[in-house]
Amino acid sequence: MTGRDRSWSSNAVKSAAAAGATIRGVHFTFPAPTAIEVLAPLELDFVYLDGEHGSFETRDLDVSCLAAERYGMVPIARVPDRTSGTIIRFLDRGVRGIVLPHVCSVDDAKDALDAIYYRPLGNRSFGGGRPHFLSIEDLPAHLAMCNAAVSVGVMIETASGLEAAANIARLEGVDYLSFGMNDLAQDLGHPGEPNHPEVQRRFKACAERIRAAGKPVREDFMKFAWINQVILAGARQLIETPTGRAY
């Protein structure tokens, strides 16, 4: 994605979801702000902080967001749960994109959207989060900017989520949807088999319903790698011999 606006008031994830442009990023399962800095020459668009299965504490969110912002990357995060208190804690630390896990119904999504957005879109609580908290000159304009600059991804991971996905996609404030394929496979009765024909059939049919409702699926516009994959692939390339053994 070239020519993008890297200011705090913009969000490359939200813009790309709307425009269908391709963006690139790395998913972190553990806090590593130095690694974010090391990856800066790649000019990534976003970093993804896994707050559900990863090892992020509140202070880790702060420093990870600081590192990402310094190099023009949008920090987004999967929250461990969809409660208002959890969502606000992530947003107040500087996360600018929320990924909602285990959304099974329109009501699930609506409750979370209410915590993510300030009025008139929601009822997010305002507090002393960073960034820019002490330099706000026009609070109504600031709240409107926050609403315009936060991205929301909804994860479908159950059979009931599959049924509700198209209606969730139509909600104002939802930017894109994604699938937790392992949890979905388990819920459909095929634990450990995300490539099972039934799982794939229902996933693909749901993805088409989402697109028909006017929203993209994550893979439509995001190109990404897990930090674990990045480390392992790089180490293999740099230190393994042609026989596959390390020096």
Number of folded domains in the chain?
1
Mean pLDDT, rounded, for 86-114: 97
Within-domain flag for 186: yes
Within-domain flag for 22: yes
Given this model, what pLDDT does residue 4 score?
47
pLDDT at 2 over 50: no
Q: CATH no. for residue 88?
A: 3.20.20.60
Mean pLDDT, rounded, for 87-111: 97
Within-domain flag for 245: no
Within-domain flag for 227: yes
Within-domain flag for 153: yes
The 3-state secondary structure of the chain, one letter per residue:
CCCCCCCCCCCHHHHHHHHCCCEEEEEECCCCHHHHHHCHHHCCCEEEEECCCCCCCHHHHHHHHHHHHHCCCEEEEECCCCCHHHHHHHHHCCCCEEEECCCCCHHHHHHHHHHHCCCCCCCCCCCCCCCCHHHCCCHHHHHHHHHHHCEEEEEECCHHHHHHHHHHHCCCCCCEEEECHHHHHHHCCCCCCCCCHHHHHHHHHHHHHHHHCCCCEHHHCEEEEEHHHHHHHHHHHHHECCCCCEC
Within-domain flag for 3: no
- Domain span at residue 142 reads 12-239
Per residue in 203-238, pLDDT (tens digit) is: 999 999 999 999 999 999 999 999 999 999 999 999
Given this model, what pLDDT does residue 1 score?
41
Within-domain flag for 6: no
Q: How confident is the model at residue 242 (pLDDT cuts 50, 70, 90)?
A: low
The pTM score is 0.92
Within-domain flag for 225: yes
